[in-house]
Chains A and B, each alone.
Chain A
């Protein structure tokens, strides 16, 4: 148990559906992240929030829409996805953004399948 909880663990959706992924941490961390993990590809940083403000968006398509209503919660809203978006989506948090002692705490991920 890392203290970062992601729901749902598994999600199957059609290309026309709208769904949301949820991430929650009660570690008192100020930075939260979304990563995409695809088979045989590097871990891709998607979005970074620091004190609820988005600080990074790594050229992610607009069909992915993040939301960070407070420092404890992070959402990833999905709409009109493509089959190539099927992947494991990981949420992480850290006390601060970057720095010499930064330690990321990861959730177990949401395994997304787009049909």
Chain B
């Protein structure tokens, strides 16, 4: 079946540290992959996406590369800020007509 596995949180970093949040997936076919972010008191919003192998999605300094050989889509940022504190969700879209499948979410806390 289709599933998404994220690293357990919380992840606690100091400002300007390097961030990696691991995400691996299981899917039939060739899914699209997404990262969504949820800031405190808000709903989720799309952060970035990649629709085929070797694509790199990027937004707001965050990047993730679709790695088919390792079935991974790890989220990275070179220098985090306090404002990046949020919950990050990895997700996949297996095929047309099927709803997104989300991971459990990883809480990131950045201190100054």
Chain A interface (Cβ within 8 Å of chain B)? 2, 4, 6, 33, 41-43, 45, 48, 50, 55-56, 90, 92, 96-109
Q: Are B43 and A101 in contact (CB under 8 A)?
A: no
Q: Are B89 and A97 in contact (CB under 8 A)?
A: no
Selected contact of A104 from candidates B36, B51, B95, CB within 8 Å: B36
- For the complex with contacts A97-B96, A102-B100, A104-B100, 18 further pairs of A-B residues with Cβ separation under 8 Å are A2-B45, A42-B102, A42-B103, A45-B99, A50-B97, A92-B43, A97-B98, A98-B95, A98-B97, A99-B32, A99-B93, A100-B32, A100-B51, A101-B51, A103-B49, A104-B46, A105-B45, A108-B43
Cα-based distance from A98 to B93 in the complex (angstroms): 6
Q: Are B93 and A100 in contact (CB under 8 A)?
A: yes
B: interface residue count bin = 20 to 34
Q: Are B99 and A33 in contact (CB under 8 A)?
A: yes
Q: Are A101 and B32 in contact (CB under 8 A)?
A: yes
Shortest Cβ distance from residue A10 to the other chain B in the assembled complex, whole angstroms: 11
Q: Are A104 and B32 in contact (CB under 8 A)?
A: no
Q: Are B42 and A97 in contact (CB under 8 A)?
A: no
Q: Are B105 and A43 in contact (CB under 8 A)?
A: yes
